[in-house]
């Protein structure tokens, strides 16, 4: 598809790795079709990217604004920055201050930035992600159409929408075991609902997501990071309400068989390349990969139980034990027990690192399964690579994703925690056996490979997501022409 006229799109995101990367992947698809993309994010992101990202991936842009960056010389993506209203040294794990200050001061600063940007370019659209709902109002004030890129599963969009718009009746949300019945989904329990609408969730998170859906009437397009085939019934169930158009899977192009050099992403942590060399020496489908993302920090008891289960499994493992402090890479929240290091034939059987290049790890033939927190980015990566999952959710959309993995996608099993929120050694061992051994392991692997094949087709010419991207650009061209 060719673009007859240069179309400019501005994307807005908080500077969180899991929020930025889907925006960057979508930007690449738009750019490949002739659209110009600028991404606006917060100044703390600029600070961390310059600190963490290799020079080949983020270079200074010789524009009039010395604070701008151009991401990847060949990508065509320009990054611009605005203050979230907090100092660079502020601890942003204080989510209440972060959410409230960004809504009040960040929105004003973004509006000022947009005023300057529109003096240089005419924007056909502002694309927001769900966690900057105030940007919808800013776009409307500037008279620019708005699209929302939903960076979670289409299922979570449906659950939020139906609850916050009072479309369907919900059970008592105080009881985690109550059953929920919604169109397009199998029956599930309250504990599987995205946590941002549960009464136990802090008010500022519930207020954030409620504000998003209240502003949805100002959004012209809802685009999903998922792909139609994996959530067909869910997407169809939303068609008569406010439809969601899948444009994913939004993962790195090399996971879909494209050139690795065309990739563009943000990594706020320093990956240890030793992971891939270590995996090269392991048999196919033999390694358990364990990682809980960039935000979660496990308790000492949970780390001890994982260590015991890995030791008892007698299988090879690659375990990411993330630094605990948000501003200090040398702080580790929980330590590996001494007996684990002594008794697991550690150097031969396992490798523990602070961070790793996850997508390349999941592509490696030696990886047999992924013990995952079930963030949506990680979930999509497992689908695209055909890796079975041991789903271990904690909060936000992760419980919903774990439910999808077990009951809809059927490419993994789910860890069951006790009342204390801790998974026992025996439970972790059960899950490892379930995805790596016997008939259940074979069925899960077969299903994982079927999903992989489906994912590979969605963004190719004629694929469902490619068609939706083309239609979105056609709409932008029409809007651009109408106001010319």
Residues 225 and 380 sit within 8 Å (Cβ to Cβ): yes
Between CA 161 and CA 169, with CA 166 as vertex, the angle to 5 degrees is 105
CATH number for the domain spanning 24: value is 3.40.50.2000
Residues 464 and 458 sit within 8 Å (Cβ to Cβ): yes
The confidence score (pLDDT) of residue 444 equals 97
Residue with structure tokens 């379930």? 434
Pairing between β-strand 221-224 and β-strand 245-246 as defined by DSSP bridges: parallel
Instruction: Indicate if 431 and 475 belong to the same structural domain.
Output: no
Q: In which element (H, E) is residue 442 found?
A: helix 438-458
Residues 107 and 120 sit within 8 Å (Cβ to Cβ): no
Instruction: Indicate if 319 and 222 belong to the same structural domain.
Output: no
Burial of 141 (0-12, 13-18, 19+ CB in 10 A): exposed
Instruction: Indicate if 358 and 410 belong to the same structural domain.
Output: yes
Instruction: Indicate if 378 and 450 belong to the same structural domain.
Output: yes
Instruction: Indicate if 229 and 165 belong to the same structural domain.
Output: yes
Q: What is the CA radius of gyration of the chain?
A: 22
Instruction: Indicate if 231 and 118 belong to the same structural domain.
Output: yes
CA distance 241 to 161: 9
Instruction: Indicate if 466 and 383 belong to the same structural domain.
Output: no
Assigned domain for 215 exists? yes
CB atoms within 10 A of CB 467: 17
Instruction: Indicate if 470 and 436 belong to the same structural domain.
Output: no
Assigned domain for 274 exists? yes
Assigned domain for 258 exists? no
Instruction: Indicate if 93 and 240 belong to the same structural domain.
Output: yes
Instruction: Indicate if 327 and 242 belong to the same structural domain.
Output: no
The confidence score (pLDDT) of residue 331 equals 41
Assigned domain for 183 exists? yes
CA distance 411 to 426: 21
Assigned domain for 230 exists? yes
The confidence score (pLDDT) of residue 332 equals 44
SS3 371: strand
Paired tokens of 28: 């690449």
pTM for this structure? 0.89
Residues 9 and 36 sit within 8 Å (Cβ to Cβ): yes
The confidence score (pLDDT) of residue 58 equals 45
Assigned domain for 146 exists? yes
Question: How many domains does the chain fold into?
Answer: 2
The confidence score (pLDDT) of residue 61 equals 41
Instruction: Indicate if 162 and 27 belong to the same structural domain.
Output: yes
Mark the ranges of the chain whose per-residue pLDDT is less than 70. 1-5, 50-75, 259-272, 294-295, 323-334, 341-347, 484
Domain that holds residue 218: 7-248+459-483
Assigned domain for 81 exists? yes
Instruction: Indicate if 61 and 180 belong to the same structural domain.
Output: yes
Assigned domain for 263 exists? no
**Helix boundaries (H) for 269-357:** 274-280, 300-313, 338-343, 346-349
């Amino acid at each position: 598809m060719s673009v007859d006229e240069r179309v400019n799109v501005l994307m807005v995101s908080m500077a969180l790795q899991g929020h930025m990367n889907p925006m960057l992947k979508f930007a690449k698809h738009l750019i490949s079709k002739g659209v110009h993309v600028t991404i606006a994010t917060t100044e703390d992101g600029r600070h961390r990217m310059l600190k963490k990202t290799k020079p080949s991936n983020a270079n200074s842009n010789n524009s009039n604004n010395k604070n701008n960056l151009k991401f990847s010389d060949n990508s065509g993506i320009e990054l611009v920055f605005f203050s979230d209203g907090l100092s660079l040294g502020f601890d942003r794990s204080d989510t209440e201050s972060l959410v409230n200050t960004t809504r009040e001061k960040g929105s004003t600063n973004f509006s000022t930035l947009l005023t300057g940007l529109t003096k240089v370019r005419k924007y056909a659209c502002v694309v927001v992600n769900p966690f900057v709902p105030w940007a919808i109002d800013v776009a409307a004030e500037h008279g620019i159409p708005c699209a929302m890129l939903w960076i979670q599963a289409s299922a979570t969009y449906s659950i939020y929408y139906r609850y916050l718009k009072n479309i369907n009746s919900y059970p008592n949300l105080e009881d985690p075991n109550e059953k929920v019945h919604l169109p397009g989904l199998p029956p599930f329990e309250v504990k599987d609902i995205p946590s941002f609408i549960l009464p136990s969730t802090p008010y500022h998170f519930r207020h954030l997501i409620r504000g998003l859906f209240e502003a949805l009437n100002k959004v012209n397009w809802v685009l999903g990071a998922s792909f139609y085939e994996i959530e067909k019934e869910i997407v169809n169930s939303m068609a008569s309400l406010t439809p969601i158009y899948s444009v994913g899977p939004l993962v790195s192009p090399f996971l879909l068989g494209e050139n690795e050099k065309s990739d563009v992403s943000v990594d706020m942590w320093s990956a240890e390349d030793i992971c891939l060399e270590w995996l090269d020496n392991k048999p196919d489908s033999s390694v358990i990969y364990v990682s809980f993302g960039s935000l979660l920090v496990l308790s000492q008891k949970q780390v001890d139980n994982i260590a015991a289960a890995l030791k008892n499994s007698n299988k090879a493992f690659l375990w990411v034990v993330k630094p605990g402090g948000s501003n200090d890479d040398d702080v580790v929240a929980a330590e590996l027990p001494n007996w684990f290091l002594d008794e697991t034939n550690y150097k031969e059987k396992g490798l523990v690192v602070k961070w790793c290049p996850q997508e390349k790890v999941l592509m490696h033939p030696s990886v047999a399964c992924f013990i995952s927190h079930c963030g949506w980015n990680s979930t999509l990566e497992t689908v695209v690579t055909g890796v079975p999952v041991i789903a271990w959710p904690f909060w936000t959309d992760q419980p919903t994703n774990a439910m999808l993995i077990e009951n809809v996608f059927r490419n993994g099993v789910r860890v069951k925690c006790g009342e204390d929120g801790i998974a026992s050694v025996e439970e972790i061992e059960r899950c490892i056996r379930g995805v790596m051994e016997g008939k259940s392991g074979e069925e899960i692997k077969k299903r994982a490979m079927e999903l992989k094949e489906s994912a590979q087709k969605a963004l190719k010419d004629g694929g469902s997501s490619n068609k939706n991207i083309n239609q979105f650009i056609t709409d932008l061209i029409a809007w651009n022409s109408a106001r010319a």
